[in-house]
Amino acid sequence: MKKIYLLILFLLMLGASMFGAYLFNIWFYNPPQITINQPSDNYLYNTSSLTKNDSDVNFVKASKKCTPSVIFIKTESQQYRRSSFFWGFDFDPFGRIGKVASTGSGVILSEDGYIVTNHHVIKNADKIQVVVSDTKKSYIAELIGADPSSDLALLKINCTNLTPIQFSSSDDVEIGEWVLAVGNPFNLTSTVTAGIVSAKGRNINIVNNQFPIESFIQTDAAINPGNSGGALVNLNGDLIGVNTAIASKTGSYVGYGFAIPSNIVSKIIEDLKQYGIIQRGFLGIDVEDIDGDMAEKLQVNNGVLIKRVNFRNEESNKKLEAGDIVVKFDGKLIEAKSNFDEFLAFRRPGDIINLEIFRDGELINTNIVLVNKEGTTEKLRKQSLFSENLGGEFEPISRIDKQTYGIEYGVKVTNITNGKLRQMNITDGFIFTRINNKAYSSAKNLIDKLENHKGQIRIEGISVNGSKQYLSFTFR
């Protein structure tokens, strides 16, 4: 009898161990999926803009407030066919392939028709059409000014009683805060998506410019093609950024979107309205981020390293040195290069800034006056000449252009539209240095030459990335 009990006990233990092994096998190869329960009505949010219960997360209120301020933009541009000929290209008057249309978004800034959008939305456009969301009326927009360095452009339509968006300081935006992205993805007008702020101060190297400004707000609110130039708003429906880019290998949303902070937008737009150009304050240094090994070696926790003092600002030449660590900008800690660039983007020529730098184990405090692209403290105004025939704006190169590219003369072209320049495949920022071996420094003389020349023409110049270019064309 005792043997029978022992046998039963053995079988039970064997069964239990086999069942335990079975459960362990299931858990090991198929670990449980962790799910977070949705908050109840009494759940309290702890973010910068939400301190009330779940019922106060009101996307509807914010959407109703901001959607009338986000408009639809459609652009048209002429595309040309190119054919090989001798040194370069031969353009015939019938070389047009046809008009190319693209779409985007914009944000209404004032009741009398000022609108902000991305520069890349209206770049090279011959015609800019705006459709107002609440009235569905269409208008032809005038380009007031553009800033490729920040990827922003200012438009104006002949209309009144529009609904301007309200601004909120992007400095107050916090990671984890709810946001809405409003725009016209895939030509679907007035689309609203929700997400949170994933990060601030992102530099993603997408602005192809001599002096790019990149310090984006990153969000996981869905942003797709057509959202560019639209609004990123908080739960009050106030603007905290202008949507400009997505991180994607397919061209569609995969989880990361980027917006230009509202404080940068406000400064750029004010400059374009008042002066026609951006008032950039130059400090005269090139900086880079500090990695972990460098921080440990230099015994600093934050800041940017001065790689080079580039002689654009005489005061910086005297007070700053390569190898200095800039740790504070006007009393604010510098976490990264994008952070430093953003602080500098808010300033204008003539502004006095205070820097705290770390040099040879000591902290040094110094004040420096910012200068313009000519090396003075004056506010500059737009002085370019526009040629409708050529399709672009021309201006003499600045002192900074001369120092950057190592040249003594030249004429820069920007805001290229339909005309000979596009046929020649010349892009924004190109600097003409010589035509048929003759040097040019006057915008008027260069325009006269290009507008009236017939036959073969040879052009020497510098592209926006600094490379020398030699082009040859035939004008008929």
Residues assigned a catalytic role: 120, 151, 228
Name the phi and psi angles at 392, rounded to 5: 180, 165
Q: How far apart are CA 81 and CA 269, in angstroms?
A: 36
Residue 221: strand, helix, or coil: coil
Alpha carbon 30 to chain centroid, angstroms: 43
Comparing CA positions, the residue from 440, 427, 443, 452 lying closest to residue 394 is 443
CA 134 to CA 348: how far, in whole Å? 37
Structure tokens, 190: 């007035």
CA angle 383, 386, 387 (to 5 degrees): 150
As a whole number of angstroms, the distance between CA 416 and CA 467 comes to 19
Query: What is the C-alpha separation between 28 and 423, in angstroms, rounded?
Result: 64
d(CA 114, CA 365): 41
CA dihedral (58, 61, 65, 70) positive or negative = positive
| 337-345 vs 262-275: helix crossing angle, rounded to 10 | 40
Confirm if 419 and 374 have CB atoms less than 8 A apart: no
Distance CA 131, CA 105 (A): 10
Task: Collapse the DSSP code of 428 into the 3-class scheme (helix H, G, I; strand E, B; otherwise coil) and give the result.
Answer: coil
Q: Report the Cα–Cα distance between both ends of the chain, in Å, rounded.
A: 116
Q: What is the DSSP string of 37-79?
A: PPP-TTPBP-SSS--SBGGG--HHHHHHHHGGGEEEEEEEEEE
The one-letter code for the residue type at 287 is V
- 454 vs 54, 320, 410, 418, CA distance in Å? 71, 52, 22, 19
Amino acid at 54: D
Report the C-alpha gap between 372 and 204 in whole angstroms. Answer: 26
As given in the structure block, the two tokens for residue 466 are 């600094």
